[in-house]
């Protein structure tokens, strides 16, 4: 599978997507034409775009607050393959915001809960699960076959790991974060800046509280996770202006959206002019903290 | 006079305010001005040697000061200064 990142960058196209605007995937069935009718009627999507989505492969890092709405909307949109990386189990304290999981799933692996729910949302979607921690040992293998990565992790080692792996593999990364009543979202395209350009170094362990420590408004996850789904669909269909080189800031208390710029750092050790990082590193050592649960 | 927008994570260091006003010709002077009224505020943004912390971004209007002149970046009257610490939460 060739990378949709290349589509985004306008240099080539997906081997199972389109070439010169002609869909190469299977023709839509009658049921699919009905299911996706409100997509297909959009001139910017159409039958060709819908077939692109059905041929696309998107990986979600974490099936939690951000991963839940993102997975639901991407599945409903007909993204043909959704990968889910999460080794956590569903806990009662997840359910005020992780809307993909139900009460009856408490105690079950999140990836099983996601697989069941998405099969009901859209049987067109193949769900590929990774019930394991993502690490330097497996990240490249997990990410390699996907077109776009959606980040819903909740710790710094995983954020730097996923950033580096996506850059090294040339994959677009749709990022999102939450904190109390505030959220952020942006897109990193390889060669146009990365998470290290935004935050050159992680905070010392314990300096920044997690959502578990600081709390998060449940519906905030829906706002940011849904923005991530929108950005992913835009990337897959090469639509509009993705959140590249700009960080979207949302404050739910003032219901205010703002943006700040994310320039590419020419001195970035990963994506700069003279990079020093050419392979994945030890991210726990880099961040001085163990990787905790995802999503 | 510039407006400093303080994120939720750092509001306790400025008495819970979302926005604080500050005077100064440069970002460094602005931070020093807030520090006079809210001792401990500067320590949230700066290392002990006075350098900007690498996990706390500061923007003047929408520009990251790391890509301008850092703490010596001039601040025009009426500018909006935003502070963005790194956060990792996604769950």
ipTM: 0.94
Q: Which of A249, A254, A295 sits opposite B91 (nearest CB)?
A: A295
Residue A251, strand partner residues: A182, A256
b (16+ CB within 10 A) / e for B7-24: bbbbeebbeeeeebebeb
pLDDT digits (tens, 9 = 90+) for A196-214: 999 999 998 877 777 677 8
Which residue in this structure is represented by tokens 């509280």?
A209
Is A51 in contact with A26 (CB distance < 8 Å)?
yes
Domain chopping of chain A, boundaries: 34-287
Q: What is the pLDDT of residues B33-75, one digit of tens each?
A: 999 999 999 999 999 999 999 999 999 999 999 999 999 999 9
Cβ of B90 within 8 Å of Cβ of A201? The answer is no
What are residue A182's DSSP bridge partners?
A179, A251
Q: Is B26 helix (H, G, I), strand (E, B) or coil?
A: strand
The predicted structure's pLDDT at residue A26? 81
Burial A152-166 (b: 16+ CB within 10 A, else e): bbbbbbbbbbbbbbb
Domain boundaries, chain B: 2-85
pLDDT, tens digit (0-9, with 9 covering 90-100), for B5-15:
999 889 999 99
Q: For residue A176, what is the enclosing H or E element?
A: strand A173-179
For B2-85, give the CATH class.
alpha beta
Considering chain A, what is the average pLDDT of its residues?
90
| Three-class SS state of A120 | helix
Cα A265 from chain centre: 23
Tell me the whole-structure pTM to 2 decimals: 0.91
Share of chain A above pLDDT 70, in %: 89
Structure tokens that stand for A197 in this block: 């350009």
CATH class of the domain whose range is A34-287? alpha beta
Assess contact for A105 and A98: CB atoms under 8 A.
no
Residues of A in contact with B53 (CB under 8 A): 203
pLDDT surpassing 50 at residue A277: yes
> Pairing between strand B80-85 and B56-60?
antiparallel
- pLDDT, mean of residues A220-247: 98
Chain B interface mutation, best of A260, A272, A293, highest count of B Cβ atoms under 10 Å: A260
For residue A223, what is the enclosing H or E element?
helix A218-237
Binary contact (A200, B54; C-beta < 8 A): yes
A98/A91 Cα distance (integer angstroms):
10
**B8–A203 C-beta distance less than 8 A:** no
SS3 A49: helix
| Residue A251 neighbours by CB distance under 10 Å | 18
Residue of B nearest to A181 (CA): B8
**Chain A within 8 Å of B41 (Cβ-Cβ)?**
no
Of the candidates A287, A243, A59, A281, which has an alpha carbon nearest to the alpha carbon of residue A152? A59
Q: Does any CB of chain B come closer than 8 Å to the CB of residue A265? A: yes
- Bridge partners of B2, per DSSP, are B22
């Amino acid at each position: 599978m060739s990378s949709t990142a290349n589509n985004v960058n306008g240099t080539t196209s997906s081997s199972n997507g389109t070439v010169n605007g002609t869909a190469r995937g299977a023709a839509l069935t009658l049921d699919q034409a009905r299911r996706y009718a409100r997509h297909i009627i959009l001139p910017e999507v159409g039958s060709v775009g819908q077939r692109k989505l059905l041929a696309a492969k998107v990986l979600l890092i974490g099936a939690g607050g951000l991963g839940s709405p993102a997975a639901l909307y991407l599945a409903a949109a007909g993204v043909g393959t959704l990968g889910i990386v999460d080794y956590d189990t569903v806990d009662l304290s997840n359910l005020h915001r992780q809307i993909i999981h139900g009460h009856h799933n408490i105690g079950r692996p999140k990836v099983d809960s996601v697989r069941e729910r998405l099969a009901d949302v859209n049987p067109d979607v193949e769900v590929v699960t990774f019930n394991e921690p993502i690490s330097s040992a497996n990240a490249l293998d997990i990410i390699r076959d996907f077109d776009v990565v959606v980040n819903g992790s909740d710790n710094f080692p995983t954020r730097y790991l996923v950033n580096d792996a996506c850059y090294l593999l040339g994959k677009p990364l749709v990022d999102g974060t939450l904190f109390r009543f505030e959220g952020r979202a942006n897109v990193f395209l390889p060669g146009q800046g990365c998470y290290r350009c935004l935050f050159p170094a992680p905070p010392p362990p314990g300096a920044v509280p997690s959502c578990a420590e600081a709390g998060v408004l449940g519906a905030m996850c829906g706002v940011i996770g849904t923005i991530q789904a929108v950005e992913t669909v835009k990337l897959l269909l090469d639509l509009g202006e993705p959140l590249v080189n700009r960080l979207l800031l949302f404050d739910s208390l003032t219901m205010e959206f703002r943006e700040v710029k994310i320039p590419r750092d020419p001195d970035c050790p990963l994506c700069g002019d003279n990079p020093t990082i050419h392979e994945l590193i030890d991210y726990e050592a880099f961040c001085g903290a163990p990787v905790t649960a995802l999503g | 006079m510039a407006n400093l927008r303080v994120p939720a994570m750092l509001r306790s260091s400025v008495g819970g305010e979302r926005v604080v006003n500050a005077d100064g010709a440069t970002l460094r002077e602005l931070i020093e001005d807030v520090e006079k009224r809210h001792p401990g505020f500067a320590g949230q943004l700066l290392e002990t040697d006075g350098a900007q912390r690498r996990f706390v971004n500061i923007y003047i209007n929408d520009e990251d000061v790391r890509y301008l002149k850092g703490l010596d970046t001039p601040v025009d009257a009426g500018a909006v200064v935003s502070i963005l610490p790194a956060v990792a939460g996604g769950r």
